[in-house]
Amino acid sequence: METSIFLCGVGGQGILKLNELISWAALLAGNDVKGNEVHGMAQRGGSVVCHLRIGSKVYSPLIPMGEADFILSLEKIEVLRYHHYLKKEGGKVMINDFSIIPTTVATGSATYPENAGSLYGEVFSDYILLPATKMASEAGTPRAANTVLAGCLAPHLNFEDNIWEKAIEKVFPSRLVEINREAFQKGFSYAARLAQKGDGD
């Protein structure tokens, strides 16, 4: 069994660090991991995506369209660009409720959709929209929104808790470990609360 995770966002949001964190957790849990990064015009606020595949033996780093088990997006519109990567059945999406206005919108050559919420319902059958940037700010820095998303994903990967602890310590400098540990826990708890609510329904 392989798990395919598609990550997307805008340059500067920490997509590559999110990729690194999940990759380390998977490796520490004993998995084979392969991935691929597409930077685009990241330095100018352009799209950044990562393909990440986890399993006992993974042969290709690229996720074919329609085969991603999860899409994690750090920006609320970027996820709509890549919806075609998600599985039709059983795919899950986790979206940071945060907007970054592209240069093309600022200059008036493009518009930014105002109705993202309704579009999600049309495109995704199973998605979570969470205030990851706000939650990260509460943990100590808005830059830890990527770690909040990792925490939201964690219950679905079933790695032991200490695996994520070790991965956080591997990926972040010591001065940022506690902040990211708290950010991760906020995302994990948010996903757990939603799961309990769903079970109650």
CATH classification at residue 9: 3.40.920.10
- Interior angle at CA 67, CA 151 and CA 123, nearest 5: 75
Residue 174, both tokens: 């010591």
* C-beta separation of 159 from 124 below 8 A: no
Using the predicted structure, report yes or no on whether residue 83 has a pLDDT greater than 60: yes
Q: What does pTM read for this prediction?
A: 0.90
**How far, in Å, CA of 114 to CA of 77, rounded?**
10
List, for residues 8-24, the tens digit of each pLDDT value: 998 889 999 999 999 99
**Number of neighbouring beta carbons within 10 Å of residue 87:** 15
Count of domains for the chain: 1
Residue 182, both tokens: 């708290």
Reported as a pLDDT band with limits 50, 70 and 90, residue 115 is confident
Q: Tell me the residue range of the domain where 151 lies.
A: 2-200
